[in-house]
Every structure is written in structure tokens, then in C-alpha cells.
Structure 1
């Protein structure tokens, strides 16, 4: 929490929200662009870095010159190093294990969801078929993040898709 003394030092206006630092690991450039556009449409102040695979994600996270992000979004199916493997490595690293990790996939297969949960993901998001669905999901993800609901995720709210989100709200 920033008090008025720290606020004066930071040079920020009191009503300015600090952007959420995000790393998106997704090999599909169109999906990267869609994600960024949906964040903008959801009016989520963010500073996003996109990488093309799990190995680039790990390299970025382990780069001491780069601060850890507030959250990472990881596509499950990527070349070089897939999302599940990258997640396992992140969760086994003392310096990285507490970064909230959201798995992204077109799959809603129960085994993929179970694997992501058991390997320590904080949330599993099925990529929606529409832009409006993506905006809705991102709003929900960040509402949960800001409410600290992504810490120690509960199994019954672990899987989000644009088909089940409206039933929960």
C-alpha cells in the first residue's frame, strides 16, 4: 500500500493505477494480439510482454535484469517447451514459484485441466471463440487477482470459459 509520503516520492497521482506487469507465453501471434486488444477493451491497465514459447518465458523470468511480473499467462501447446513443462519448472523455482500463473488453452478437456491444477496453475482459462468472451474472461481473471482469489485456488473456480462465466456471476 502506498502512503502519501511514498506517493509524493513516486510522482504518481493518487488516482493513477499501477499497470499490472504481465508476461504472455503464446506461440500464436494472432492470439497475442487478441489478448492485448482484449486487455485494452477490458480497461485493465497493463504492461505486457509477449514471448513465443515456454523456454523464452523461463529465460525472461530468470533474467535478473527484469523484475518479476505480477502475473503470467501460459498457452499449453507451444513449440520448444510447452506450457505444462514451463509451469512445472516455474513452480519448482524458489524465486518464481509464487507468481500467479494462468494457463490458456483451446482445450476444455478434463485431463488438461487436472494436469494444470496438479502442477500448480492458479487458473485455467479456455480461450473463448469471441472477442467479447475474451474481454469478459479477462475482467473476471483480474477481479479474482485483485481480490487475491488466485492464491491457493479452489478446484470449483479453477476452470473459466466464456460458457461458464456468466453462470457464476
Structure 2
């Protein structure tokens, strides 16, 4: 049995937060999820641990600081340089995906239009060995089966 993994997830869409919570709950007790409704709330939590996340899921389209702004801020901090950050967004534009990679995101998961596919994509991201994963053009974007 492995230790409980703390996951932070920031998204301004309350339905998406609930779907994510449900998916994490369905995956047993190996995860502790802490959600944030916007970028400012997330950054405040990161600046005031504990807890500290082992994994961060980040929406892009949020009011105020968007996910790309937050990603850039976190990657400029020595403390969060190596934190696995998964972009989870409805945005499927190549330019935004490329910008996420350039800014240092670890992985990009387009939000699926149905719960089953969303669950599969999040579970896939949770199974990645982040200690060994090096993102590049070929492995950065999640593709559904």
C-alpha cells in the first residue's frame, strides 16, 4: 500500500470540480484532493503549506490569473520547478497546448465531453510515473482511445 498522494486541482467551474472529486473518490483512498476555485486561492494555498501537493491539475480558462499565468509563476519558483503540473482544460488549440509545454507543464489533458472519457483521462494521468516522465512533443498530450 502506497502513501496517500496529495493532489491540488484549480478550476473555476464548480461542475468540473465535482466531477474531478468523484473520479478521485472512485480511485480509492490513495489520494487526498484539495480543490481551489481560482488561481489566487491556489497560489495562496501553495504559499502556506501544509499540505503541499505531489501533483497539480490546473484549468486554463479561469478569471483573473489563468492557468498559463499560474503555470509560468510556479515554474519561476525554485520550490515548484519540479512539481508535476497537468493542464486539464477544454481548450484544444494547438497554440495553447504548445504554450503549456513551453511554459513547463508536465502534461496536457483536454477535458472530455463525457464522464467516462474524463475519468479515463484523469486515471491515465494519475498512473504516470512523474519521477521519470520527461514531457516532449510526442508524449505531452493525452489522446483518448
The TM tier, using the shorter chain, reads: over 0.9
Q: 2:120 aligned with 1:136, yes or no? A: yes
Does 1:108 find its partner at 2:87?
Answer: no
Q: What TM-score does the superposition give when structure 2 sets the normalisation length?
A: 0.92
Structure 2 unaligned blocks of 5 or more: none
Q: What pairs with 1:77-96 in structure 2 (closer than 5 Å)?
A: 77-96=61-80
Deviation digits for residues 86-131 of structure 1, max 9, x if unmatched? 0000000011111100011111110110010000000011001111
1:42-85 Cα shifts (integer Å, max 9, x gaps): 4472101111111111111111x423210001100111211000
Contact 2:117 2:144 in 1 (8 A): no
Alpha-carbon RMSD across the aligned residues, in angstroms, is 1.6
Residues 21 and 152 from structure 1, CA distance in 2 versus in 1: closer, same or farther, beyond 3 angstroms? same
Corresponding position of 2:134: 152
| Rounded Cα–Cα distance in structure 2 between residues aligned with 1:25 and 1:59 | 12
Q: How many pairs does the alignment contain?
A: 145
SS in structure 1 at match of 2:78: coil
Larger-gyration structure (1/2): 1
CA gap 1:127/1:75 in 2 versus in 1, 3 angstroms: same
Answer yes or no: is 1:50 the counterpart of 2:29: no
Gaps of 5+ in 1: 1-15
TM normalised by structure 1 equals 0.80
